[in-house]
Copies of this chain bind each other. A is one copy, B any other.
Amino acid sequence: MLAEVFRAHGYAGASLALIGTRTGLGKGSLYHAFPGGKVEMAQAVLDEIGAWFEGRIYASLRDTPDPRAAIRQMLAETDGYFRSGRRVCLVGAFALCDERDLFGDRIAGYFAQWRDALTQALRRCGHDTKAFDLAEDTVLAIQGGLVLARALDDPEVFGRMLKRLEWTLLGETTARVHPSTS
C-alpha cells in the first residue's frame, strides 16, 4: 500500500498528506512506525521489494539444480510482479531522479543482485562467456520495457519483450515457434 503511493507519484510527489489518506493512517501513526520520516518509509519499501525479489527470483537463479526452470520462473514472476507491463518499477524510477543519492546503495544492490544471480544461472546452461553480457542485457531490457510500455501506454510492449527474452535466454528448444509476435 505504502509502496503503491511511491510508485504512483514518485518520492517527491508522495506527500505525507497523500500517504496518510491512502494508508488511512494519520501522521502520528506514520511517524510512530517510521521515526525517520519519509526517508525511512521509502527505505522500508525498497527493502521489502528487495526481499520479495530475493525470495521469488534471485535465490532460485543461484541455487536451483535446474537453471532453465529457474529462468523460466523468473520470466513468469517478473510478468506477474509488473502486472504485464501495467506496473512501474519503483527502483528504476528512483534511479532516474535525484533520489538516487538518498538510496543509492539499495538501488544499485537491487540491479546488481538480479544481474549476478542471472549470470550464475546462465553459466550453468550453456552460455559460458556470454553469461554476464546476456544477464546485463536481460535486466536492462526489462527496465526498458517498463519505460516504453508506460510511455506508449501500451502494456503489450512488455509482453513482447518478455517473449524475446525467453527466446534469447532459453533458445528455441523450449519455446514454441519463433517469437515474431503478432
User: Does residue A136 face the partner (Cβ distance < 8 Å to B)?
Assistant: yes
Residue-wise, chain A 56-68 has the 8 Å CB interface mask toward B (1 for contact) of: 0000000000000
Decide yes or no whether A71 CB sits under 8 A from chain B: no
Q: For the side of the interface on A, what is the size category?
A: 35 or more
Report whether over half of chain A's contact residues are helix, strand or loop; otherwise say mixed: helix
CB distance from A22 to the nearest CB of B (A): 14
**With A92-B147, A97-B93, A133-B181 as contacts: A157 and B140 at CB distance below 8 Å:** yes
Q: Which residues of B contact A139 (CB under 8 A)?
A: 144, 148
Question: Mask for A81-116, Cβ within 8 A of B = 1, else 0?
Answer: 000000010011101111010001001101110000
Identify the 6 closest CB pairs spanning chains A and B, nearest first: A144-B144, A95-B151, A140-B144, A12-B12, A143-B144, A10-B97
